Structure 1
Amino acid sequence: MNALTVNLRSVLELTDEQFFQLCQANRDLRFERTATGELIIMPPTGGETGNRNARITQQVMNWTDADGTGIAFDSSTCFKLPNGADRSPDAAWIQLARWNALTEAEKEKFPPICPDFVIELLSPSDSLKVAQEKMKEYIENGVRLGFLINRKSRQVMIYRQGKEVEVLESPATVSGEEVLNGFVLNLAMIW
C-alpha cells in the first residue's frame, strides 16, 4: 500500500495545532504534511520493514545513550521543519544543546526543529523518487547527515550538507562521520 496524499487547501488549511490534534485523534494512522500543506497518510509497515526499522532505532538509541551528546527519536516522532513541513523520519538525532533550547511546550508537540541526522528505510511500497525528494528536503532544512537505505538494491545513499549524494553498494557498515562521531550503523541486521 502506498502513501496517500490529500490536498485539503482548497477547502481547509490546517493550523499547526489542528494538525497536531488530527494526529492525536487518529493514533492508528501516521500523518505527515508537506510544506505546501498537503496531508500525507502513511500506511503501516509490514513485518520485515518494521523489524528493520526497530533494529536501526535500537542502534541509534544505544549509541546515543553511550555518547550523551544528543537525543534520538524513533519513526513515530514528527518534526516541524523550517519550511513548514511536518516530517517523521524512521530514526533521527539532535544535538542536546539544540534540543534543550526548545521550550517544554515545543518538546511536547511536534518539535519545531530539524534533526541533525536522519535515517529513512525504503519499504517495498515506497517510491524511491519520493524518498529521495524527502531526503533533499531534510538537507535543505538543516539535516547535516542522512542515510536513505534501500534494502531491495542493497544501497545506502548518503546525504550531506553541500555535497553530492554518495551511493554505497552493499556496505557492511556506515559511519556517522563527524555528525555522530563514533556511531557505526551495522547493516548486517538490516539487509
Structure 2
Amino acid sequence: MILSTLDLNPVIDLTDEQFYQLCQANPEVKFERNANGTLVIMSPTGGETGNRNFEIGADFAIWNRQTQLGICFDSSTGFRLPNGAQRSPDIAWIKQSRWQALTPAQRERFPPIAPDFVLELLSPSDTLPASQTKMQEYINNGVQLGWLIERKTRTVQIYRPGKPVETLNNPSQLSGEAILPGFTLDMSLVW
C-alpha cells in the first residue's frame, strides 16, 4: 500500500503536533511516519481489500461489543508507538484498562500507545518485506499479537513477542489466543 516516502528531516523535524496538523490539513491523504521521521504516503486500497477489511472489522466489533474487553480501531486511526513512529494498522485493539489510562487529550489525537493486537491485510500495492518489517516494529513496540494476512498465497504470519514468526498455510480460522479471549476469525471471510 505504500505509495511513496517523503523525508523532510533535512528541512524540518516535525513535532507530533505538527504531524497531527499536517494530517488534519490533508484529510484526503493517509500518512504514516516511521521512527526516523520519514513520512509514508499510503494509497487507498482496492475494492476487494477494502471489503475484506470491512468484513474482518465487523467480526471484531461484534466480538468486542459482546465481551466489552477493549476498544477496536480501523485503518484510519494513527498510533504513536514508543519508538516515535506513527502507524495505522488495518485493525487494532487495545485492552479497556490500557485505553482508559490515557488522558482524554491523548485519546483524541494519535494515541501514544501500542495496541495489544494488530492486523495487516496485504493489498496488491503492499510489499511483503515492508509489511513484515512493519509487523516486527509493532511487536518491538509492545504489541502482543499480530496477524499479517496475505490473501494471494492464503498465508498468515502470526507475530508474538519473544517468539519466532509462525506461518500458517490456508488456515480455516484464526484464534485470538489469550490476547483476544474467545475471538475466532473465520478465514472464509478473507479468502
Please tell me the TM-score bracket, short chain as reference. Answer: over 0.9
Aligned to 1:127: 127
Distance 1:63 1:24 in 2: 31
Q: Deviations over 1:12-67 (max 9, x none)?
A: 11110010011111111100000000000000111111001111111111111111
TM-score (norm 2): 0.98
Aligned to 1:188: 188
The one-letter amino acid of 2:70's match is G
Distance 2:132 2:125 in 1: 14
Shift of 1:158: 0.3
**Cα gap change, 1:2/1:80 in structure 2, threshold over 3 Å: closer, same or farther?**
closer
Contact 2:157–2:168 under 8 Å retained in 1? yes
Moved over 3 A (4+): none
TM-score (norm 1): 0.98
Aligned to 1:67: 67
Number of matched pairs: 191
Aligned to 1:163: 163
RMSD: 0.8
**Cα gap change, 1:3/1:109 in structure 2, threshold over 3 Å: closer, same or farther?**
same
- For structure 1, the 5+ residue unaligned runs are none
Please tell me whether residue 104 in structure 1 is matched to residue 104 in structure 2: yes
- Which structure 2 residues correspond to residues 109-120 of structure 1 after superposition, within 5 A? 109-120=109-120
Query: Share of identical aligned residues, percent?
Result: 59
The one-letter amino acid of 1:34's match is N
Q: Deviations over 1:102-145 (max 9, x none)?
A: 00000000000000000000001101000000000000000000
Distance 2:82 2:101 in 1: 16
